[in-house]
Amino acid sequence: MYYDLHIHSGLSPCAEDEMTVNNIVNMAGLKGLDLIALTDHNSTKQLKTLHIVAKDKIKVLYGIEMESKEEVHILGYFKDLSDALALQPWLDLHLNYQENNPNYFGHEYFFDQNDQVIGEEKKLLITSLDQDIYQVAEIIRRNKGTVVLAHVANKANSITSQLGFIPSDLDYDGLEVHSKLEQEAIKEQNPQLNNKNIFWLFNSDAHRLQDISEAENELSEQAYECLFGDKS
């Protein structure tokens, strides 16, 4: 399966307003992708619309990009919509409150299945939770999710930029990079990874339609089930 598992909708203020759910699903189809995930910042509130729009069009995982109190971005993936949505009360409780200023940060739109704006999030989503990386990973696990450390080679909001290393006692399933070059650099900087059975995901982190991945990164059915299968 060709995939891109890090895509932001217009609910994320840093994404373009063109990132409606239909536009994302249709662009992924045009690019030949078989599997996508919507991963908005600190919110699962766009996922119901994704569920409706993607039906019979493309396979989806229900995702989220959470920001720990260390400002580390962590991706959570769920096979079942209900497991993802069960996170929302916890997010509402633990997200540090700041009102969004759309003129400065960007709009945070809710879309329906026809790409009509049906509301706007008032709380700024691109801020940190009051929970650390271990607590974020644990709540994803508790909701039967898969834990992936986001864009680990980035110079901001990655575990390497914020902590300087990848803790050996952190419970996670995979690491996300953008390229093979980044993967090799992270392996070189963290030789302990060579002794661990870690999945590597190559995602776009798309905030614009044109940045959604082409059909070049492939995940086998076996790898899919191993990484995202039953977490009960």
With cut-offs at 50, 70 and 90, classify the pLDDT of residue 192.
confident
CATH number, position 31? 3.20.20.140
Q: Per-residue pLDDT tens for 51-61? A: 999 999 999 99
Tell me which residue of 99, 95, 108 sits closest to 68, measured CA to CA. 95
Task: Quote the number of domains for the chain.
Answer: 1
Structural domain containing residue 80: 3-228
Beta bridge partners of 56: none
Token pair in block for residue 181: 């070059």
Q: For 18-62, what is each residue's pLDDT tens digit? A: 999 999 999 999 999 999 999 999 999 999 999 999 999 999 999
Query: What CA–CA distance (Å, rounded) separates 9 from 207?
Result: 7
Mean pLDDT of 165-172: 93
DSSP labels for 129-195?
A: BSS-HHHHHHHHHHTT-EEEE--TT-SSSSHHHHHSS--TT---SEEEESSHHHHHHHHHH-GGGGG
- Whole-model pTM? 0.96
Rounded Cα distance, 146 and 41, in Å: 16
Q: Quick check: 231 pLDDT over 80?
A: no
Q: Of 52, 43, 34, which Cα lies nearest the Cα of 92?
A: 43
Confidence of residue 232 (pLDDT cuts 50, 70, 90): low
**pLDDT at 194 exceeding the cut of 90:** no
